[in-house]
Structures are given as C-alpha cells and as structure tokens.
Amino acid sequence: MSKNKEPENLDLNKLNLAHTYTPEELEQINKYLKVRTNFENGRLISLPQTPIAHEAVVHEIARQLGNWNIDTCQNGVVTTSQGAFNFSTTAPKKIRAPHVAFISADTYNSLNAKQLWTLHGRPFTPIFVAEVVNSTSDQILNEVDNRFKNDYFAMGTSVELGWLIDAKNSMICTYKKNNNEIIRNNCKWEDLDGGDTLPGFTLNISIIEKIVSRDCDEIEDKCPYCGSHFAQVFAMLKHIASVHIVVK
C-alpha cells in the first residue's frame, strides 16, 4: 500500500466505533478525525471535549513541567493529550494519550522516523504521566485508576511515576512501581515532589488552585498567628506550616 493511498472500502464519513480496524486503517482514520480518540485492540474509543477549566489545569501542569525541563537542562519532551503512545509492548496496540507526559532525552533521541511520525514502529513510553479528572463518581475514579495500573504501568512500559489530580475537589493520588507492584498513595492537597523520576521538580499547587478558584481575589484569609492576609486558603496553610509550626 502506498503512503498516500487510503485503505480500500474505508468510508471516513461513516466510521463505526464497534468495528475492529487494521493498523493501516487506524492510521488513515487518525489523519481525518476531528475528535480525540484512543485506539485499543483495533477499536476506536471516542474521548469527549473537555471544559476550559480542565484544560487550564492540564496546561499549567505542562507549563511548570516544561519550565523545569528547560531550567534544569533535562532536554526531554513534554506532551499533552494530543501526544499518543502505544502502552502495549505486545500486540495488539493500546494507544493512550495522557493529559501530561514526560519523555526522557535518551528515549526521545533514540527514536527513528517511524516512531516519531507514526504510531507504528517499536513501542516506547514516557517515564511520567499525569491525568486530570473531575471525580463526580466512583466509576470515574475506578476507570482512571485502572488506566494507571493496567495501561500506564503495564509490564514492559517505562512509566515510573503517575499523578492523578482532581483540582476541583482538591484531591491527589500518586502512583509508583515497587518491583512488580503498583503503589497508589492518596496525598494531601499540597505541592507535589517529582522525586527521582523528575529530580528537582515541584508542582506548585497554589497556582492550580487559583485557576479553579476564580473568586480567590475576592476572599481573604487571615493567619491566626500573625494576622497576615492571604487570597487563598492554600497559601495561608502553607505560610502557617513553614513559619509558625516547628517540627521537633
């Protein structure tokens, strides 16, 4: 099949989400689609459009990560939800596009043209992934939890660290691999340390909180110890912990 020739009998105006497509068909479909999808076992999985606040949080995480990447000369690559990876090291493909991901410089520089410009070639995965959700139900949390455990941290992937962030409900979960076990930790709504995977990187949660708390400039919180005023509860709590609470 030539590069520019469409697969025979493929009607791009009448795609069937229940149909199983070949890798060649999926690649052709991906060029024409106007909606975001994941590919799994040859099937198209449609992804809904997201509200502006959700995308603002995703962008802020990617922005902070990108600044760290440049400032610390990591020379890696930061991707958002348009950057897809094949998280299956064996057939069939399992194409996923995390909201935010980081690929190390060594991995990116080792990719050939086929890996860079198509979804074919030898699979490669990021070392860090983040998902931003609005957990309105346990079902949503379970779906994302399964995605981390069964896709991102599947056997053979390079993922070392994962963050699940629900900015609207001030919730954070981290995922790490300990030998062959996936460890999930529920964390406080506070700055996140990238650890050994992202050395020197700290996600500033107060900026994310400001994105979702549009009325934060209209509300002032007063420190009960020194009377200092803060526009955000998070900023006040951080001030109290660092200035007034002494850990012996």
Q: Which two tokens stand for residue 162?
A: 């994962």
Ranked by mean pLDDT, the top range of 15-19, 153-157, 162-166 is: 162-166
Q: Are residues 61 and 30 in the same domain?
A: no
Q: Are residues 143 and 237 in the same domain?
A: no
10-66: per-residue pLDDT in tens? Answer: 766 666 666 666 766 766 666 655 445 555 555 555 555 667 888 999 999 999 999
Q: Are residues 41 and 68 in the same domain?
A: no
Q: Are residues 134 and 152 in the same domain?
A: yes
Q: Are residues 135 and 231 in the same domain?
A: no
CATH code of 91's domain: 3.90.1570.10
165-194: per-residue pLDDT in tens? Answer: 999 999 999 999 988 889 999 999 999 999
Beta-carbon-side half-sphere exposure of residue 27 (alpha carbons within 13 Å): 19
Taking the model in full, what pTM does it have?
A: 0.71
Contacts of 185 (CB under 8 A, 6+ apart): 173, 174, 176
β-sheet bridge partners, residue 45: 38
- Reduced to 3 states (helix: H, G, I; strand: E, B; else coil), residue 216 is helix
Specify the number of domains making up the chain. Answer: 3
What pLDDT sits at residue 223?
A: 86
Contacts of 104 (CB under 8 A, 6+ apart): 74, 76, 127
Range(s) of the domain holding residue 144:
52-212
Q: Are residues 90 and 148 in the same domain?
A: yes
What pLDDT sits at residue 31?
A: 60
